[in-house]
Amino acid sequence: MSSSPTQNRSEIAFFHLETTFPTRSIVDFGSILVCPETLVELGSYSTPVRPTDPSLISFPSGRSNVIAPDSVVYVPTFSDITDKVFDVLNGRIWAGHNILEFHREIIKKAFAEIDRPTPEPEGTIDSLALLTQKFGWRVDDMEMATFATYFGLGKQTHGSLDDVRMNLQVLKNCATILFLERSLPEILTMSSWVSGVSLAEGSSGYAGFVEPDEVSISCISPCIVPLFPRSPIRKIKLLHKDVILQLFCSRLIVRFGISTKFVDDAGRPKLSFVVDTPTSLCQVLYACDTVAQNWVLDSGCGSEWRPAVTTKYGPYPTVRLHIPTVVDGDVVQFATDIYKKEASGNVQKLDLSEFDATEIEAMLKRGSFVDAFLSLDPYNYLQSAGIRLVTERLIIHSE
């Protein structure tokens, strides 16, 4: 490292590799050691790497060559830097963007090719998986260059050491935003979603959500995406004018309140409730059902399709809305932001840090009104397929 490493192995080793395409030979290695308590850089190491066959050096369009043709003979091979790379990585926490599916596997392959023991991590931090879970709805994709643009960090150079430092800076920026929003949810969370409209007005001011009346049926289309980044398994998303379709529905009438009859694999109650469905929402969901069901049929799936809109509870059409929960350690929490709207128009976010289904059940009584911000989640599970309506935000009227 450029500064003397400490004797213990507690530092986090952020590292990045540049490789040839498509042969995946390492041509640039860069790493920094970071204090896990302060995230201060303690040292760095980087070097270009000469592959066994220099003619393999090629890069996708838009990436700069790490090794200049006239200097390739002076660049060390991976065998030359093996001891140093092993010392940097072995026994430390590894961190990087897509480190689990890419960088870790490339390191294993490189050491195996020269018959040397592979460094083993004490743990791993994959910023791709972390940012997808915590920050994914804010950016178009999970590429580091996209995050760099989002935060105004400049252009990604695709030099390994520069990319490592950019990766760390992106994580710091994301963590700061999430911390501030968690500390001041009524102010910062609203400001990032609302476009100049007060939430108390009951408007669909949240960016990306549209009212059913605003949906053009002919503009609904399917989009096939990975189940998670770089997964070979595909799932369907529904688009409206080439944007993921999300709906804002105001003053829906609760037909049946919270049901806790079923639990998931972790023992958490599957919370859902049933609302009457206005004609405009019915029309949108009928169209979404048709689009999604046709894709399921074309894929050769034999699952039974379950329409989103049903009349099994009476002569009037209804839909079931789901309130997801998540586990944080031993604590179960709502994954939906839930608000209470007073008759005066004031809206207050409910503090539901401790899971209490009975509290929500008491507010969602038959005949009460709710405003719901909905994501449409097509599913195909255990021979049943359909569209699950997930409440991202729920405003319960107390009138």
pLDDT digits (tens, 9 = 90+) for 315-339: 789 999 988 877 665 666 777 888 8
Nearest to 203 by CA among 188, 189, 216, 214: 214
In angstroms, the CA 36 to CA 119 distance is 20
Q: In the structure, what pLDDT confidence band is assigned to residue 201 with cuts at 50, 70 and 90?
A: very low
- H or E element in which residue 282 lies: helix 279-298
Mean pLDDT of 39-66: 72
| Alpha carbons 2 and 239: distance in angstroms, whole number | 49
Ranges 215-224, 339-348, 362-371, 386-395: which has the least confidence:
339-348
pLDDT above 70 coverage of the chain, percent:
73
Return the top range by mean pLDDT from 84-93, 137-146, 210-219, 237-246.
Answer: 84-93
User: Could you identify the residue written with the tokens 């350690």?
Assistant: 329
The residue with greater pLDDT, 13 or 187, is 13
Judged against a pLDDT cut of 80, whether residue 109 lies above it is answered with: yes
What confidence score (pLDDT) does residue 89 get?
96
Interatomic CA distance for residues 309 and 290, integer angstroms: 12
Sorting pLDDT into bands at 50, 70 and 90, what band is 33? very high
**Pick the residue with more confidence: 279 or 134?**
279
- Give the model's pLDDT for residue 77: 92
Q: Calculate mean pLDDT across residues 65-85.
A: 79
- As given in the structure block, the two tokens for residue 172 are 């710091």
Token code pair at residue 252: 């829906």
How confident is the model at residue 228, as a pLDDT? 56
CA distance 245 to 237: 8
Cα(86)–Cα(77) distance, integer angstroms: 14
332 within 8 A of 353, measured Cβ to Cβ: no
CB 364 within 8 A of CB 347: no
Order of strands across the sheet with 123-126? 41-48, 26-34, 12-19, 93-96, 123-126
Lowest mean pLDDT among 39-53, 106-120, 180-194, 299-313: 180-194
- Residue 159: both structure tokens together: 């030099």
Is 97 known to be catalytic? no
One-character DSSP codes across 306-375? E-SSB-TTSSS-EEEEEE-EEEETTEEEESSEEEEE-TTS-EEE---SS--HHHHHHHS-TT-EEEEEEE
pLDDT of residue 189: 47
Residue 302 has pLDDT above 70, yes or no: no
Looking at per-residue confidence, does 221 or 15 come out higher? 15
Contacts of 287 (CB under 8 A, 6+ apart): 217, 220
237 vs 390: CA distance, rounded Å:
13
Strands 271-276 and 347-349: unpaired
d(CA 38, CA 171) in angstroms, rounded, equals 13
Laid out side by side, the sheet with 243-244 consists of: 220-226, 234-240, 243-244
With a CB cutoff of 8 Å and minimum separation 6, the contacts of 175 are none
Catalytic residue among 16, 97, 103, 158: 158
Q: pLDDT tens for residues 150-177? A: 788 888 777 889 999 999 999 998 888 8
Task: Tell me the mean pLDDT in the region 202-223.
Answer: 73
Phi, psi of 219, deg, nearest 5: -95, 5
Round to whole Å and give the CA distance between 36 and 34. Answer: 6
Average pLDDT estimate for 8-16: 88
Percent pLDDT > 90 in the chain is 22
Distance, CA of 372 to CA of 389 (rounded, Å): 10
Segment 219-234 shows an average pLDDT of: 67
Name residues whose C-beta falls within 8 Å of residue 282's C-beta, 6 or more positions apart in sequence: 309, 317
Q: What is the pTM of this model?
A: 0.49
- Identify whether the C-beta of residue 133 lies closer than 8 Å to the C-beta of residue 160: no
Question: How high is the mean pLDDT of the chain?
Answer: 78
Q: Cis omega (within 30 of 0) on the bond before 22?
A: yes
Closest CA to 256 of 313, 300, 191, 181: 313
